[in-house]
Chain A
Amino acid sequence: MSLRVKFWLILVLTVVTAVLAYPREDKILHAIGLKKASLHVQQGLDLQGGAHLVFQADLAKTAPADRSKAMDSLIDVIQKRANPSGTSEISVQRQGSDRVIVELPGVKDVNDAIDRIGRTAKLLFLEIPPSTSGTPQPIDTGIGGKDVDRADPDFDTQTSQPVVRLTIKSDARSKFGDLTTKIHNENGQLVTLLDNQVVFGPATVSQPITDGNAQLSGNFKSIGDARKIAQEITAGALPVPINLVEERTVGPTLGLESIQKSLVAGIIGLLVVAIFMVSYYRLAGLLAVAALLIYTLITLTLYKLSALTPYSIVLTLAGTAGFILSIGMAVDANILIFERMKEELRSGKSFVAAVEAGFDRAWTSIRDSNASTLITCFILYFFSGASPIIKGFAITLGLGVLVSLFTSVVISRTFLRLIIRTNLGRQPSAYGLRTNEATR
């Protein structure tokens, strides 16, 4: 590839990444006809505020063979409870053999969410036989939450009171029909409990229910109350008891403050590095700063684009530190190359030869030294358990190292090759050398 083509490709890359990395990229994309395109850097809970909850299942009473299945249904139930509408960005994930991680971005009342998720929600239908002598004993009918397909809040057509409508699963309809027919004929009573709280009855059954549509008219205070109960019933009972073993909740103000501070720190860090590079390496330093800016644009674009894939990069506070640290490391490759170039120039090589030798000789150092940082990132990512803080740091630092390899080896090199064709680029002072230190 000729130098000219490379230069134009870098220019195109710069423009594209600059557009994508721009915070209001949707406006620009809209203007050029790409509608509905909106990208964002996915922020971790410590930046946007929210709760990271870890629940541990108590599997002591579950047979080892059934544990995996129990965990699957547990996650299903928690998913339905934490995210009943299925629309918000709530995530429920399994961790290890017996834990479930629930991430609730922007949650307002964490304790309410914990209660909602941790409820057993066992639904029971009990039959109370007609009293012949003494207090009647309720009998478990064997019908429960597992037989309910869905529950919806509604208003009773006659009394206008809030109620919960139940739809019985088709395979349990005849069983439910038989039960209600029996209670109706014997003139007994039916009572429905949710976690030992009465949600219906005890009341007589005026008519056998054979179509599977039952109604719980259990003194709900409001429609909201009925909705809550309906959601609990729809989500189903927890297959195994769970306990909250870890909680990390960050309020939105702290997160916002962290973002602003990191942004300021990042800009100052970038500026200081830029000033240092230009004052020490002059024209070459300026090229390194340009490469560094392109590096920043590429990295931000990758963060944003990753959100479109299943492997989205979540930016945490430690992640921003990893990113800013990688700015410092990104210039390392440039420094290695420039120092090498200066040596070659001092030894009397021509500018063209010095650029090539600088890159070739510096390459093994760049490769070997970055490999050790990449190994660390790799281990941090895969062996740090489920900690989103550490993973966030590892991914941003690791990605930073990889992108900086590209920008320093490909972009800086192209810039340098171009600059030595110009008169300005053939001055020793352009590289921070004294005039007598190099031959022209």
Chain B
Amino acid sequence: MNIIRLRRWWYAISLIIIVPGTISLFTHGLRLGIDFQGGQLLEVQGRVAQSEIQSKADQLKLKDLSVTPAGDNSLIRYRDEAAPKQQQSDHLALSSQLAASHHKEVRYETVGPSVSRDITRNAIVSVALAALAIVLYISFAFRNIPPPMTSWNFGVAAIIAMLHDALLLLGVFSLLGAFFKVEVDSLFVTAVLTVIGFSVHDTIVVFDRIRENLRRERGEFEAVVNRSILETLARSLNTSLTVLLTLLALYLFGGESIKLFILALLVGIASGTYSSIFNASPLLVSYYRYQQQRALNPKRAPA
């Protein structure tokens, strides 16, 4: 099997999957939950129709009311801009009306604007820090790379694979937000960070093998990379399979309130497996080819 020779196909598959989500990300963005925007969230038992509570919400001057099902329960979101004391009594008024129609409240969350600003800032800071720390770590872990590659090449390829996974995950959730009103919360940020970590984790195992093989023999660079991918293929697939199987168990049988979190991990880890096999290492070869062509023919820009 020659994975390297087919690399343009692998890149194309990645693009086909990533482009729609990315377009959605730039046009619709993500549907932000109360963690990032502030607002109120109520979980009640049973299915509630929005019409059941719309008039009450209007009367209480609650904005942006939306109702979505969550398992056997319903999630009710709104934004109450009254003073905190008033918000408390508005919530009571709404939940007692719901309780009267046998929708018992099981969860209530309210996030004020100052808190949501902090959560957003923390999310940005932690994603940026994690990315930075991982970049530093990769350049440290991949020092002493035998020629023709440098640790810098390995680092950039791992980071592109990582961005691939992050972008795919964000894109999928942007599409889910646009079509199914799926919102992102702090747990989603956690999922993004976990996926980033896993993506690099997976890529490192393949790169480690490439480094080892480069040290041991001086073959054709492409052949060494291809053999390294094949040698680690069983491990990559088996590890991802066990992680995906446990996640699938969590998705199917776990708690309702972490379902989207688990879905994010499923999407991200599947992507991480793909990118570590079909993107990260082939990119090393593409870059190697590019350098060689440039050395041979400095004037013509190679493809």
On A, residues with C-beta under 8 Å from B are: 46, 54, 56, 96, 110-111, 114, 243-251, 253-254, 257-258, 261-262, 264-266, 268-270, 272-273, 276-277, 280, 317-318, 320-321, 324-325, 327-329, 331-332, 335-336, 339, 343, 361, 364-365, 368-373, 375-380, 383-385, 387, 389-390, 393-394, 397
Contact = CB atoms under 8 A, between A and B. Distances in A.
B55 interface: no
Nearest to A393: B190
Contacts of A254: 43, 106-107, 257
Contacts of B88: 111, 114, 244
Contacts of A251: 104-107
A416 B96 CA distance: 62
From A343, A371, A377, A394, name the one whose CB has the most chain B CB atoms within 10 angstroms.
A371
A325 B137 contact: no
Contacts, number: 213
Given A339-B235, A368-B141, A384-B126, A325 B105 contact: no
B3 to A, nearest CB: 17
Nearest to B232: A339
A253 B246 contact: no
B198 A373 contact: yes
Contacts of B205: 336, 365, 368-369
Nearest to B111: A246
Contacts of B249: 265-266, 268-269, 272, 324
A361 B208 CA distance: 10
B27 interface: no
Contacts of B141: 368, 371
B247 A325 contact: yes
A264 B253 contact: yes
B197 A375 contact: yes
8 contacts: A245-B115, A254-B106, A262-B255, A272-B248, A318-B187, A369-B201, A376-B130, A384-B122
Given A335-B238, A383-B126, A247 B92 contact: no
Given A343-B231, A370-B201, A372-B137, A247 B108 contact: yes
Contacts of B147: none
Nearest to A96: B118
Nearest to A244: B84
A325 B246 contact: yes
A276 B106 contact: no
A372 B197 contact: yes
Interface of B: 43, 84, 88, 92, 104-112, 114-115, 118-119, 122, 125-126, 129-130, 133-134, 137-138, 141, 186-187, 189-190, 193-194, 196-198, 200-202, 204-205, 208-209, 212, 231-232, 234-235, 238-239, 241-250, 252-258, 261-262, 265
B54 to A, nearest CB: 24
Given A365-B208, A368-B141, A369-B202, A250 B247 contact: no
B121 to A, nearest CB: 8
Given A254-B107, A272-B249, A397-B194, A335 B258 contact: no
A407 B245 CA distance: 21
A335 B205 CA distance: 12
B190 A253 contact: no
